[in-house]
Amino acid sequence: MNAYEEYMLGIVKPMREELVNVGFTELVTPDEVADHVQESKGTSLVVINSVCGCAAGLARPAVAAALEAAEHKPDHLVTVFAGQDKEATAQMRSYFEEVLPSSPSIALLKDGQLAYFIPREQIEGFAMEQVRDHLAGVLDQVCAK
């Protein structure tokens, strides 16, 4: 590992932990992503994490708050980190190629199929509470058994 990679690992560590601390599993390799998508039954909330300000100030806090606010929760919480775990992120995005890549973004998969997608354009420029309410509403619709 070169000095730049080591530096970036230290920088993004708290950004990764913010989601892990609320129950997310990081998928850092393409195989981990493929295994999750192919083998997981039910709903998976996927956060495509990022180092940008709208991930820090909006996406990650909104996701944590939406999970608290929603009556219906997803069966699985997973995340990939754009710009850091590039191959894993590309693998995840391959399951919803019909939407343009953006980060941060939030996907909801149901039995491995895209059920809903919130792109960066619906995160950046909105209040955290708006993103939270949007996601909580989606969770209550898609995750209701």
Tens-digit pLDDT profile for residues 56-73 = 899 999 999 999 999 999
Average pLDDT, the chain: 95
Beta strand 43-49 with 76-81: parallel, antiparallel or unpaired?
Answer: parallel
Q: What is the pLDDT at residue 35?
A: 97
Domain annotation covers residue 112: yes
Residue 89 in domain: yes
3 state SS of 125: coil
Please give the pLDDT value at position 4: 85
4-18, 25-39, 93-107: range with lowest mean pLDDT: 4-18
What band does 145 get if pLDDT is binned at 50, 70 and 90? low
Q: Is 113 inside a domain boundary?
A: yes
Q: Tell me the pLDDT tens digit for each residue of 87-110.
A: 999 999 999 999 999 999 999 999
Number of structural domains found in the chain? 1
In a domain, 107, yes or no: yes
Full-model pTM:
0.95
CATH of the domain at 51: 3.40.30.10
- Output the pLDDT for position 7: 87
Is residue 15 a part of any domain in this protein?
no
Please name which of 126, 1, 108, 102 lies closest in space to residue 52, comparing C-alpha atoms.
102
The whole-angstrom separation of Cα 123 and Cα 73 is 20
- Say if residues 62 and 22 touch (Cβ distance below 8 Å): no
**Contact at 8 Å (CB) between 56 and 14?**
no
Q: Which domain holds residue 118?
A: 26-143
Q: What is the pLDDT of residue 9?
A: 81
Catalytic annotation, pick one of 52, 62, 78, 109? 52
Q: Which of 27, 54, 92, 131 is catalytic?
A: 54
Does some domain include residue 6? Answer: no
Q: What percent of the chain has pLDDT over 70?
A: 99
pLDDT at 92: 98
Position 119 in a domain: yes
Give yes or no: 143 in active site: no
Could you tell me if residue 11 is inside a domain? no
Q: pLDDT at position 11, please? A: 87
Mean pLDDT of 11-34: 96
Range 37-63 average pLDDT: 94
